[in-house]
Structure 1
Amino acid sequence: MTKWVKAKIKKIIYWKKNLLKILLKAKINKFIAGQFSKILIKKNNQKKIQRAYSFVNPPKKKTIKFYITLVKKGKMSKEIILLKKNDKIFISKNSFGFFTLKEIPSSKNLWMFSTGTAIGPFLSILQEKKDIKKFKQIILIHSVRYFSDLKYLNLIKKIKKKYKKKLIIKITITREKIKKFLYGRITKLFLNKTIEKITKINMTKENSHVMLCGNPFMVKEMFYILINKKKMTKNLRRKPGNITRENYW
């Protein structure tokens, strides 16, 4: 049973009508970078609505940050849009999930594929830096629909600077062509070998582990591409493999 604690909203930043960042203050137990928490909002009639969101902040930071896309006609979205600074909501005291580097075997290359707000857990992981030494090279491939959706671009650049050559970051935009960015869906760019060519890294089951997070269609499609084209296997505790995945809604 989930144990809930009160959380105070420190700030809400609306980047677009449907894209926002929520900053919270709450006494929760320490989480592992890559995990998610649950938010609960009580309506006036005491009906409760809850959803899971991954942390953007690393565990060492006291301010809790969530990167959220509002869904049209979504029950939780309708409540979130009414929230304001200093409002009280509830957050799970403990965090959940196995989308962490702790669960991944050592490998020469670690590939991170994300779409939209699902870059959150990767930002948390890369800021925390724990278990990073298990990998010689890290490659982050992030996809958004429009350039205006790249709200964490400055943080991405700061992270890249700290990691130097150990981290390769490539961003692709799917609905408009922008100079210096890739154009097209992750799956298409992977199938036509653009991603491997531009990163200059040949992905094999012997040298790579792949983390997939985001749009369930991307995650599912990439999962089967990796199984069929690269002969990779799902990563399990009892049987280590090459693919770790998490759907983002």
Structure 2
Amino acid sequence: MWQVGKVIDRTDWSERLFSLKIAVDVGPYLAGQFIKLAMQLQDKRVARAYSIINPPGSNYIEVLAVAVPDGQLSPALHLLQPGDAVDVSVPASGFLTLNELPRGELQGRHLWMLATGTAVGPFLAILDTAEPWQRFEKIVLVYGARQADELAYCAKLQTMAHERSQFCFLPAITREIRPGMLHCRIPDGLTSGVIEQQAGIAISATDSQVMLCGNPGMIRDSITVLTDKGLRKNLRRAPGQITTEKYW
């Protein structure tokens, strides 16, 4: 089912990276879920999935996107301005949510969030709810990108880390060196141990839940490292410690 949404605000993080706030009623949803945006382009509807960045309870949704030069939809979305219309699928869906994680003894004490690029979106929504702070002793977000200007919402996350001792934010970039940021791919940082060192805690099957969202290469390589540490995929029929969502 589709509803017509109206763009009410936009933020440009870099030349191609942008966020849109869209006034639309998508009904109840869980932090971490996604919708689809669609536009009529050259006599056909083109639709793509985008995570909802803001937590439930708002009268709008916010999405983070990057304009891919040869993309079918993202260049058109990049042109949208406040007042423009865009189609939004309802209801939201997706399983990268906290209610998919085990509870009780199987939950562990620490929540790790590993994201690349725009796939940080689900974690932004989750962090803006009360649940992760109530369930976990420590939360670590590792946010990977090529360059620092591709780290959307970085200032917000840095402020959150400053205000909440429970939260550790580790930005990781690969094509430049910046003070206070890791210089590595996420899987490499897991392999070397620098991510755990900077977080001040170790990843283990006993203490950790790890949620991964991003490009398939990051997810594949990170799962290899996590599996070597004794973690296993989280399934409803067989609870584990690794929950994933690929972004393409």
Q: Take 1:161 and 1:55, find their aligned partners in 2: how far apart are those partners?
A: 25
SS of structure 1 residue aligned to 2:170: strand
Map of 2:108 onto structure 1: 107
Deviation per CA, 1:89-140: give whole Å up to 9, x if none: 1111200111001110122111111111111111100011225322111111
SS of structure 2 residue aligned to 1:219: helix
Map of 2:235 onto structure 1: 236
SS of structure 2 residue aligned to 1:16: coil
Map of 1:201 onto structure 2: 201
| Equivalent residue for 2:8, pick from 6, 10, 13 | 10
Aligned residue identity for 1:159: M
Q: Take 2:219 and 2:132, find their aligned partners in 1: how far apart are those partners?
A: 24
Q: Take 1:51 and 1:89, find their aligned partners in 2: how far apart are those partners?
A: 12
Out of 152-161 and 176-185, give the one that drifted further: 152-161
> Equivalent residues in 2 for 1:29-68 (5 A)?
29-43=27-41, 45=43, 47-68=44-65
Aligned residue identity for 2:53: V
- 1:217 matches 2:214: no
Structure 1 residue 44, shift from structure 2 partner: 5.2
Q: Take 2:200 and 2:77, find their aligned partners in 1: how far apart are those partners?
A: 42
Q: Take 1:40 and 1:104, find their aligned partners in 2: how far apart are those partners?
A: 31
Q: Take 2:55 and 2:29, find their aligned partners in 1: how far apart are those partners?
A: 9
Gaps of 5+ in 1: none
| Structure 1 segments of 4+ aligned residues over 3 angstroms from their partners | none
Map of 1:246 onto structure 2: 245
Task: Quote the sequence identity (%).
Answer: 34
SS of structure 1 residue aligned to 2:73: helix
Deviation per CA, 1:26-82: give whole Å up to 9, x if none: 01112100111111112352x110000001111123231101011121101232133
- 1:129 matches 2:122: no
Q: Take 2:93 and 2:215, find their aligned partners in 1: how far apart are those partners?
A: 19
Aligned residue identity for 1:169: F
Aligned residue identity for 2:56: P
Aligned residue identity for 1:237: R
SS of structure 1 residue aligned to 2:165: helix
Q: Take 1:12 and 1:134, find their aligned partners in 2: how far apart are those partners?
A: 33
Out of 49-58 and 136-145, give the one that drifted further: 136-145
- Tell me, yes or no, if the aligned pair for 2:116 and 2:143 is still in contact at 8 Å: yes
Q: Take 2:176 and 2:20, find their aligned partners in 1: how far apart are those partners?
A: 27
Out of 71-80 and 89-98, give the one that drifted further: 71-80
Q: Take 2:224 and 2:188, find their aligned partners in 1: how far apart are those partners?
A: 13
Aligned residue identity for 1:51: R
- Tell me, yes or no, if the aligned pair for 2:31 and 2:125 is still in contact at 8 Å: yes
Map of 1:76 onto structure 2: 73
Give the total of aligned pairs. Answer: 244
Deviation per CA, 1:129-163: give whole Å up to 9, x if none: 2253221111111111111112312211233244x
Question: RMSD in angstroms over aligned alpha carbons?
Answer: 1.4
- Tell me, yes or no, if the aligned pair for 1:103 and 1:237 is still in contact at 8 Å: yes
Gaps of 5+ in 2: none
- Tell me, yes or no, if the aligned pair for 1:28 and 1:93 is still in contact at 8 Å: yes
